[in-house]
Structure 1
Amino acid sequence: MLPAPSRTQRTALPPATLDPEPGRRSAATATEAPPATTPGVPPASSPSSRGAGPAAKKRDPYFDNAKYLAIVLVAVAHSWEPVMGGSRAAHALYMVIYTFHMPAFILVSGYFSRSFDASPARMKRLVTGVAVPYVVFETAYSLFRRYAGGEPHAPITLLDPLFLTWFLAALLIWRLTTPLWRTLRHPLPVALAMAALASVCPGIGDDLDLQRVLQFLPFFVLGVMARPEHFVWVRRRRVRLLSLPLFAGALVFAYAVAPHMRLGWFYRSDSAQELGAPWWSGVMMTLLMFGCALLLTVGFLSWVPSRTTWFTALGAGTICGYLLHGFLIRGAEYAGLIDENAWLSGPAGLVVVSVLAAAAVTLLCTPPVRRVMRFATEPDMGWAFRRSPATR
């Protein structure tokens, strides 16, 4: 879902298919379709929310595995930002990870949003699973910055997402526009054109982080267009083998351009002009970054296990891992732990930081944490909605 060098220290991260427990699905899970009955083949239609039968609660381990592995990459990349300093190798690896981890989240999120039709049941899940967590954690991060970060005058606003919360605002907007993308004859070219235009429009402003919403939009639309057989094709042995030289080449290229590459291109939170580049480079970089991200996303998804593993169950708790790990990283910065331990910028320090970040986000995805945080990530708000005629 990595604080980007932007006006409010926002970062790209992740998350898209952030999922609560199997029996309590929310819009944040991006699981508008029922689980697959064939291992590795995603579902195609939507279950009812609560009270669904046992079959509706079955989950495809492939997507839970993908979500867990992606959230680990997100946390590790976030943890590197304060300590990687001038390490060229660290910057190169950071750039490669940033090229695909958010697009992978968003693509899968779009895939599971295909059946969103703005029906009352889905609108309720959108509110309780995306809108409410956005309000809660945007306020929490603002207060944390004000009182723990020593910024007593830091504003609290719901219009300018802070740090990790931008993704929830984006998911809310993308999900609401899903019926439109399913209606258009050529949705992906339209989405790419909108992303390219956004990259050359510095006047868009910070409201709801619309730069990111628009520049990442093509990945969500691509997910909406995806079909189950595409994910089966991605996991073919030939694709896995081809992904090895692909990632090797990406690392070599990233190492070569690391001293000259602006990281802002990966965050997608600013226009080309705001990054100090000519306007036409925004169009060019939008298309190039989309192509590179798509290739690396396919390579990443090809290596995700289809079987049930020890971390499969943790994929259901990625919303907690995503939203909570930012407090640990920001807290370490506010406490001065990074500045007081210069050795963390060395190779050994980066390894230690990576292991700690992976372990921390793993713990934050466990069922006990999900149960404790359910009041914020998936609140029971039946009192706020009118009952449907069938229920009455």
Structure 2
Amino acid sequence: MSGTMRPAQQRGTAPPQTPADGVAAHPATHPARSAPEGAKQRDAFFDNAKYLAIVLVAMGHAWEPLRGGSRSVAALYMVVYAFHMPAFIVISGYFSRGFDASPRQIKRLVTGVAVPYVVFEVAYTLFTRWTDRTPDRPISLLDPLYLTWFLAALFIWRLTTPLWRLVRKPLVLALAVAMLATLSPSIGNVLDLQRVLQFLPYFVVGLCLRPEHFQLVRRSEVRALSVPVFLGALAMAYWAVPRMNDAWFFHRDSAEELAAPGWYGPVMTLVLFGCSMVLVACFLAWVPRRRMWFTVLGAGTLYGYLLHGFVVQGANFGHWYDHGWVHGPVGAITVTLAAGAVVTVLCTPPVRRLFQCTMEPELKWAFRRDATDLRRPL
């Protein structure tokens, strides 16, 4: 989840109402429904939440080169990483409740998640061959590079949705799976399964939520309580910076790989799940319910998510962080504002139109007939 693809952590680092059933404009947002496009009105609350979360993702990536020299930046980084991806994944699960693996929905999953995954896996590999000066780096669709791990994970999570809707205690089972994953360093990097399994409980939480649950976090008392909770989280993170390995928040490694005793894994899974869900609730409590100037950008968060990675890599290649002033307070503020501005531009409608062919392709030529016709007997 880090913003820099270091040699030892190149793959699986780091991150998503929309057009046509929601797997495209941000994979974490729209219901996999069978209703016609535009049949339901977009909810400004979720678009606002997606935009604000993607801004935090970009800021987190911008802070990474600064956290080694600033305990305050490292604390902010830790708090943001505790909830921004869980928030995306919870919303993804919430809008996947209607997924029943019908032909029409499978088609949308392929065009809105699988195709962007392939396109950006190849694009990131080619780009990092240049920026990292590694011309022999292979293109591997089984080992997600950088931000593409989320698309691979969403594809798997959505396909398993019918199972989680069938079992009696889905969250308990998902937490058990995540806990066991931390004990298994042999899982490896195939489709970043370690991350898929460790983040799974947040997706399942989303599947279990109902509209009234989101109404609860919008109450004024929850908003008031969220302020001391966030302040407490920042204070705790500031204390933990020199004492804790923040890689636990990335959910990409087993306990053994983090040089911790095996039993740490299951315990940290439960502790981090509780902390992350509290912070997700606090974050959602402050998301505006009405339309804002940035509401329209919530439909383009997948674009901002995937495209800003090239800017991050370009900044590292251009040695933008080598200037001393960048590592001071003014530099940290400048980098933060620049990250927010860049990802905002990348979510705008003109950028969406430019890259729509890769993010939301129709691919009519790839399917035998319209997906709705596949339901009819042959």
TM bin (shorter chain): over 0.9
Residue 128 of structure 1 pairs with residue 128 of structure 2: no
Written as runs of structure 1 = structure 2, the 5 A alignment for 1:1-392 is: 2-3=2-3, 7-10=8-11, 13-15=14-16, 20=18, 22=19, 25-26=22-23, 28-31=26-29, 33=31, 46-49=33-36, 52=37, 54-56=38-40, 58-339=41-322, 341-388=323-370
Contact 1:65 1:305 in 2 (8 A): yes
More helix by share: 2
1:386 Cα offset (Å): 1.9
1:7 Cα offset (Å): 3.5
Contact 2:71 2:238 in 1 (8 A): yes
Specify whether residues 25 and 214 from structure 1 end up closer, same or farther in structure 2 by C-alpha distance, changes over 3 A only. closer
Q: Partners of 1:228 and 1:250 in 2: how far apart?
A: 27
1:25 Cα offset (Å): 4.3
Q: Partners of 1:13 and 1:238 in 2: how far apart?
A: 33
- Relative to the length of structure 1, the TM-score reads 0.91
Q: Please list the CA deviations of residues 187-231 of structure 1 after superposition, one character each: whole Å capped at 9, or x if unmatched.
A: 001000000000111111000000100000000000001001000
Specify whether residues 390 and 324 from structure 1 end up closer, same or farther in structure 2 by C-alpha distance, changes over 3 A only. closer
Specify whether residues 12 and 290 from structure 1 end up closer, same or farther in structure 2 by C-alpha distance, changes over 3 A only. farther
1:387 Cα offset (Å): 1.6
Contact 2:94 2:207 in 1 (8 A): yes
More moved, 257-266 vs 352-361 = 257-266
Specify whether residues 242 and 6 from structure 1 end up closer, same or farther in structure 2 by C-alpha distance, changes over 3 A only. farther
Q: Partners of 2:276 and 2:371 in 1: how far apart?
A: 46
1:335 Cα offset (Å): 1.7
Identity %: 58
Q: Which amino acid aligns with 2:86?
A: P
1:391 Cα offset (Å): 5.1
1:278 Cα offset (Å): 0.5
Contact 2:3 2:61 in 1 (8 A): yes
Q: Secondary structure of 2:321's match?
A: coil
Contact 2:104 2:371 in 1 (8 A): no
Q: Partners of 2:145 and 2:202 in 1: how far apart?
A: 22
1:149 Cα offset (Å): 2.2
Q: Partners of 2:353 and 2:121 in 1: how far apart?
A: 20
Q: Which amino acid aligns with 1:48?
A: A
Q: Partners of 1:72 and 1:363 in 2: how far apart?
A: 11
Specify whether residues 23 and 132 from structure 1 end up closer, same or farther in structure 2 by C-alpha distance, changes over 3 A only. closer
Q: Please list the CA deviations of residues 269-290 of structure 1 after superposition, one character each: whole Å capped at 9, or x if unmatched.
A: 1001101110000011000000
1:293 Cα offset (Å): 0.1
1:148 Cα offset (Å): 2.7
Q: Partners of 1:310 and 1:12 in 2: how far apart?
A: 31
Q: Which amino acid aligns with 1:70?
A: A
Q: Partners of 1:6 and 1:140 in 2: how far apart?
A: 18
Q: Partners of 1:279 and 1:232 in 2: how far apart?
A: 39
Q: Partners of 2:366 and 2:12 in 1: how far apart?
A: 32
Contact 2:119 2:358 in 1 (8 A): yes
- Relative to the length of structure 2, the TM-score reads 0.94
Q: Please list the CA deviations of residues 295-330 of structure 1 after superposition, one character each: whole Å capped at 9, or x if unmatched.
A: 000000011001000000000000100000000011
More moved, 4-13 vs 318-327 = 4-13
Q: Please list the CA deviations of residues 352-379 of structure 1 after superposition, one character each: whole Å capped at 9, or x if unmatched.
A: 0000000000000000000111111111
Contact 2:120 2:148 in 1 (8 A): yes
More moved, 184-193 vs 147-156 = 147-156
Q: Secondary structure of 2:8's match?
A: coil
1:260 Cα offset (Å): 1.3
Q: Partners of 2:371 and 2:351 in 1: how far apart?
A: 36
Q: Secondary structure of 1:232's match?
A: helix
Q: Partners of 1:190 and 1:351 in 2: how far apart?
A: 42
Q: Partners of 1:100 and 1:236 in 2: how far apart?
A: 20
Q: How many pairs are equivalent?
A: 372
**Structure 1, unpaired ranges of 5+:** 35-45
Q: Which amino acid aligns with 2:342?
A: A
Alignment partner, residue 40 of structure 1: none
Contact 1:32 1:115 in 2 (8 A): no
